Structure 1
Amino acid sequence: MTLAEKPTPSDAAALGRSAADHLWMHFSRMGRYADSPVPVIVRGEGAYVYDDRGRRILDGLSGLFVVQVGHGRRELAEVAARQAETLAFFPVWGYAHPSAIQLAERLADLTPGDLNRVFFTTGGGEAVETAWKVAKQYFKLRGKPAKHKVISRMSAYHGTTQGALSITGLPAMKQDFEPLTPGGHRAPNTNIFRASVHRDDPEAFGRWAADRIEEAIVFEGPSTVAAVVIEPVQNSGGCFTAPQSYFARVREICDRHDVLLVSDEVITGFGRHGTTFACEKFGFVPDLITCAKGMTSGYSPIGAMIATDRVMEPFLADKVTFPHGYTFGGHPVSSAVALANLDIMEREGLNRRVLDNEGAFGATLDGLRDLPIVGDVRGDGYFWAVELVADASGTTLDADQRERIVRGFLPSALFEAGLYCRPDDRQDPVVQLAPPLTCGQAEFDEIEQVLRGVLAEAWSLL
């Protein structure tokens, strides 16, 4: 197709056909678009996006857990334009530029403890990849070269690069790409809804789950384990929270066995739970933080790994290099946008807004428990999941029901009803909700109303 033949934005049908013919979409069954149009989103404003047919859809997932301050913020676009006019690109490979310097200092001020050293990436998976590399080299520099393994949690998602995918605890996501980077090992997650022990005692369950991490470290051999990677609230499987006892015990275990604790905050960071980093809310200080997504509210891509002074210390020795980097890590435009985004969040008190409204959001969604298809509602902050079940005893949907309901019916039905969110069956099937942090009760009610209608219809199809 020549340039002159390419469809214009006003030609909605042609745009959809062109997407089906040329755009390889992520995590998508591309064959399905031979006979059905590709949804095309053309603009966003506040908590809503608009498609090429002019429909307004509530963005109940903040794009992909990203757009903290909402869509259409002219201020962020103007900051990006000014920075591009001044300095559009220069790498941080032995050089620096003002916006990366200022952002690194800002992030160091926002982290708990002495997490003072920021390594920029372009996204979350790269940040996790970087954290594993740092952990491996850190122990080599300390004279413990055998420490290279990582313990993560069952069904947890940490990225798609070969290293991050090894840390990911979803076998189905890995099987097409094996063999992967060796060294990834798993411990149970904190899904108390499906727990076989301590279901009525969250604190005891938290201690039990943490002890399984120590069990994995001991089984693999503490002299071989470099890091434990956990999300403060686990995404995959549907917003698994954990009590304070869990995080305190995991921190103790890592210290006892000289293992680095990594808080993967790619989703949970930047206000999603009412603090800049969720580890602060849940009462633990990690050795490394990985983050991305909400740092710029998606207005420009960036990610980061943030390390403590203790982790950084051996890298400051004479002639030591960390032989790792990304062309666009710490990009001037992205760094400038991140600074402006953090300004907006601070000026509008979005962390406080989440803390003030998280109870109302949870209570609104909790009302869906009267639907027979809803087995559990769980989450924290502006990050919640509704787990779907096949009967009153909590039986999970079988393979056929997942295919028909979770993959076949729900995505299009919710979108057609005016809600973009995430039906997900990488573990037990859930619908995930994570609206922009600017939302309030009006948007919570709209989310609940759409879910109620669509889930009731889904139940009739089971």
Structure 2
Amino acid sequence: MALDRKPNPNDLSAFWMPFTANRQFKKAPRMFVAAEGMHYTTSEGRQVLDGTAGLWCCNAGHCRPKITEAIARQAAELDYAPAFQMGHPIAFELANRIIEIAPKGMEHVFYTNSGSESVETALKLAIAYHRARGEGARTRLIGRERGYHGVNFGGISVGGIVTNRKVFGTLLGGVDHLPHTHLPALNAFTKGQPEHGANLADELERIVALHGAETIAAVIVEPMAGSTGVLLPPKGYLEKLRAITRKHGILLIFDEVITGFGRLGSAFAAQHFGVLPDMMTTAKGLTNGVIPMGAVLTTAEV
């Protein structure tokens, strides 16, 4: 359909931005118009260091020629193919390459469109896994205070960011939360993983006693919290979570949307900390932020 009028690039009224004070922004907009390497360029021509890699997306830097050329080449060859009952060879090749760098034990990939969708998919897979095993009562999901798992209903429900939760009412039922691990009184000025806080994983035993292990499908945590302030897990904490979930037949999900694809030095936080979950959610660095895409990695058992 042809436009009746030429769009005005200075008219900012139509677009609404998430997590932004929109009226203030539109009075004094901050616009990036280009990027290269680790710098953005503003509309005034200033160079701005991208200290957060585009909110943890652009792990390989901006406008890498190999990446932009690959996108153009693929769009010219095949822009879209239906995802049901048919496929494209590169989708299978990519899945194999992801598994090659994933923690040993991760064997399958399920594609999504974002990190938020990866979380929803992992939560659904957890419930479906137990139902397939004849454990249909396992529908309860356990998150963690201060946790961030995207902005869909499931992710907000298991997440623990209060300002994200309070607007939307009851969200999903059957959700409980572990305590967060931020203990500044005990761990101030710690280098590396904090010494104190592994005992907080034992709160999962209290939740199991309250609801019954036979009702709990999965526990989801960020192996290293990001949106709440970059919190390293206390020494032994993830190991305890893994042991308790395995003891009670509960699936453990690592949300690696931020930590995946080299953010901690290793390809994934699961490798960095030496703890293998049952599922991992990914996005962001998977495509260097250039297209909306995520993936859920699972073990062969799941």
| Both proteins in one fold, TM over 0.5 | yes
Q: Which residues of 2 match residues 29-428 of structure 1 at below 5 A? A: 29-33=21-25, 36-194=27-185, 205-311=196-302
Instruction: Check the 8 A contact 1:232/1:263 in 2, yes or no.
Output: yes
Gap runs ≥5 in structure 1: 9-13, 312-462
Deviations 1:383-434 (CA, angstroms, capped at 9, x unpaired): xxxxxxxxxxxxxxxxxxxxxxxxxxxxxxxxxxxxxxxxxxxxxxxxxxxx
Question: Are 1:151 and 1:217, in contact at CA under 8 Å, matched by a contact in 2?
Answer: no
Q: How many matched pairs?
A: 297
Bigger Rg, structure 1 or 2:
1
Cα separation, partners in 2 of 1:217 and 1:113, compared to 1, 3 Å: farther
AA matched with 1:69: A
Q: Please give the root-mean-square deviation of Cα atoms over the aligned residues, in Å.
A: 1.9
What displacement does 1:277 show? 0.9
Instruction: Give the Å deviation of 1:195.
Output: 5.6
User: In 1, distance between residues paired with 2:224 and 2:197?
Assistant: 13
Contact 1:154–1:187 at 8 Å: present in 2 too?
yes
CA–CA distance in 2 between the matches of 1:98 and 1:232? Answer: 32
Q: Deviations over 1:236-287 (max 9, x none)?
A: 3211112341111111001101000001000000000011111110010010
Which sections of structure 2, spanning at least 5 residues, go unmatched? none
Partner AA of 1:27 in structure 2: F
The CA distance in 1 between the partners of 2:242 and 2:165, in whole Å, is: 28
1:7 aligned residue:
8
Distance 1:140 1:58 in 2: 48
Q: Which amino acid in the other structure matches residue 19 of structure 2? A: F
Q: Which moved more, 1:38-47 or 1:107-116?
A: 107-116
Structure 2 Cα separation of the partners of residues 310 and 207 of structure 1: 28
Displacement of 1:310 in angstroms is 0.5
Shift of 1:296: 1.1
The partner residue of 1:26 within 18, 25, 30 is 18
TM-score by length of 1: 0.62
Counterpart Cα distance in 2 of 1:218 and 1:125: 30
- Is the contact between residue 207 and residue 246 of structure 1 (CA under 8 Å) also seen in structure 2? yes
Q: Which runs of at least 4 in structure 1 moved beyond 4 Å after TM superposition? A: none
Percent identity over paired residues:
35
Q: 1:203 to 1:6 in 2, by over 3 A?
A: closer
CA deviation string 1:208-243 (max 9, x = no partner):
111112222322221111111111111132111123
- DSSP-derived class of the 1:263 partner: strand
- Structure-2-length-normalised TM-score: 0.93
Q: Which secondary structure does the structure 1 equivalent of 2:69 belong to?
A: helix
Contact 1:266 1:290 in 2 (8 A): yes
Higher percent of residues as helix: 1
Deviations 1:283-311 (A, max 9, x none): 10010000000011112221011111011
Counterpart-to-counterpart distance in 2, 1:268 and 1:279: 9
Bigger mean CA offset, 49-58 vs 238-247: 238-247
Q: Secondary structure at the match of 1:157?
A: coil
Alpha-carbon deviation of 1:204? Answer: 6.2
CA contact (8 A) 2:102 2:268 kept: yes
Cα distance, 1:152 vs structure 2: 1.3
Provide the C-alpha distance between the structure 2 equivalents of 1:77 and 1:64, rounded to a whole number of angstroms.
Answer: 19
The whole-number CA distance in structure 2 between the counterparts of 1:149 and 1:112 is 27
1:98-132 per-position Cα deviation (integer Å, ceiling 9, x unaligned): 11101111112222132111110011010000001
Matches of 2:186 and 2:86, distance apart in 1: 50
1:194 Cα deviation from its structure 2 partner: 4.9
**Could you tell me how far apart the structure 2 residues matched to 1:38 and 1:216 are?**
47
SS across alignment from 1:22? coil
One-letter identity of the residue aligned with 1:96: G
